[in-house]
Amino acid sequence: MTSTNLANVAQPVAQLNRRLPPIAGLLDDMIDQAIRARQRRILIADNPSQKLSALRVCDSALDQAVISLSLYGADAGLQLEARIASSTGAAREAAVFLRVALVVHTRDSALMDLTREYLADYPRTIRDAYWFYPVPIGPFDDHTEHIVSLFDKSKETPALQVLALELIGRRDVKKLRQQVRLLPEDSILAPQVHLAMARLGDADQLTRQFVNASLLPDQQTPNKIYAHAAMEIAAIDPRLLDKTVLGQILGAEYGESIDTAWAIAACWDPQSLYHYAKTREDLPSTLMLRIVAVTGYIAGIIAACADMANSTGTITAQQADVLVLALGQVPPEARCEPNDQEQKSKALRSLLLRVCRAAHIPLNNDADRCPWDANAILAQPDQSDNVRLRAGAVLRDTVPQFGSAVFEITHPLRQWLFIERASTAGITLSLSVVDVARRQELALMVAEFADELNAD
């Protein structure tokens, strides 16, 4: 798999000769529900403690709403325009999203006029509507003609060009590959061009040079736009990042902008990265928990469980990530409220010991009642140092499978697993955790099928 988006199989939507009659209040109620779904979607996508299973609920509701609204013909469009005129804040943003999504879905010629009208005020909204829609007819239907049209009409408008280049990459519009490549490398669009080519799985030596030159931490006047694009490219195809540059990034002061570099390092050399991370006192606890979860070393898992057992409340979403990804589940006692600290500690200990015994990791006789310490719990801590756990078992695969855990872990850790897949499999994987849930699930299904074929 070289990209999350498969070949374009554009199929025309059947044109309705009749529209549904306007039933008093029904269209209004439908729009109300859709606006609330969009507002929830924004909150869930922007919350680092949320997960794919939550995103799926909102996206399914929005898909159903757009399909239903399309059956009302012009009435739905007029009603949405009235909502836009009468709303403010988040409700207006949601109404704009639905209006543009409806036009994309119905292949309405008003799309460019709406895009120009609302892009300046709602860039993310317009991008999402183009990115997520139309709702596909089948799993492998991927209509992208609206993006081709946007690119053709964007030549004289930089803001439209930036949007078009992002969408070409995110929706894998391969028919525009040559036209994108012909854009001048030294223009202000250089970051977007390199990023689009990487997402299309067609990065070249010039893109590699762009990535490494933009990410060198010792630049006196670093260009944040270039660095952001370069880090995104590295996440899509880690092979483009030189190890020497990665080492310099990791040695610099931590910031959220270099989180991807830690993910790549955790995949390339998990043991060295884990031990190095333990020496860095400036790292936030959320990053350390992601490192523990992805690397899966038993000492780190025990230390994380110790922190959970010693806390008085329920565990955090990031702590739950460690349990789900490494040990395969979260004990109910760790999440229930009010939280009984003693019962939580016993449940965590029971889960940890059960996984260790199933993985044939030697334990001391008093492992069920000794202090929360790797040297006290493990009978042979030095020999167990190289063992990695994933989903409650020893991780033996060179390319770890996603498994069911990918639906129940937080957005940041899920993005790390996408990077892990690209790193270990040596592929291009342009998959975003804020993409529409149906497309993420399709990519995961294809990856699972590929894993089964490789296993056979």
Which is nearest to 48 in space by CA: 440, 416, 448? 416
Q: What is the pLDDT of residue 140?
A: 78
In the 3-class helix/strand/coil scheme, how is 113-177 assigned residue by residue?
HHHHHHCCCCHHHHHHHHHHCCCCCCCCCCCCHHHHHHHHCCCCCHHHHHHHHHHHHHCCCHHHH
What is the model's pLDDT at position 456?
A: 62
The whole-number pLDDT of residue 16 equals: 46
In contact, 208 and 194? CB cutoff 8 Å: no
Predicted confidence at residue 137, as pLDDT, reads: 87
Contacts of 282 (CB under 8 A, 6+ apart): 253, 254
Is 57 in contact with 67 (CB distance < 8 Å)?
Answer: no
CATH 1.10.1740 fits 26-132, yes or no: no
Q: Which residues of the chain have pLDDT under 70?
A: 1-24, 218-222, 456
Return the pLDDT at 14: 44
pLDDT in tens, 2-52: 444 433 333 444 444 455 566 658 999 999 999 999 999 999 999 999 999
Q: CB count, 10 Å around CB of 271?
A: 13
Query: Quick one: pLDDT at residue 20?
Result: 59
pLDDT for position 141:
82
How far is the C-alpha of 33 from the C-alpha of 40, rounded, in Å? 11
Determine the pLDDT at residue 220. Answer: 54
Contact 155, 149 (CB under 8 A): no
The pLDDT assigned to 423 comes to: 95
pLDDT for the residue 180: 94
Instruction: Report d(CA 98, CA 104) in Å as an integer.
Output: 10
Give the residue extent of every domain in the chain.
26-132, 145-239, 270-455
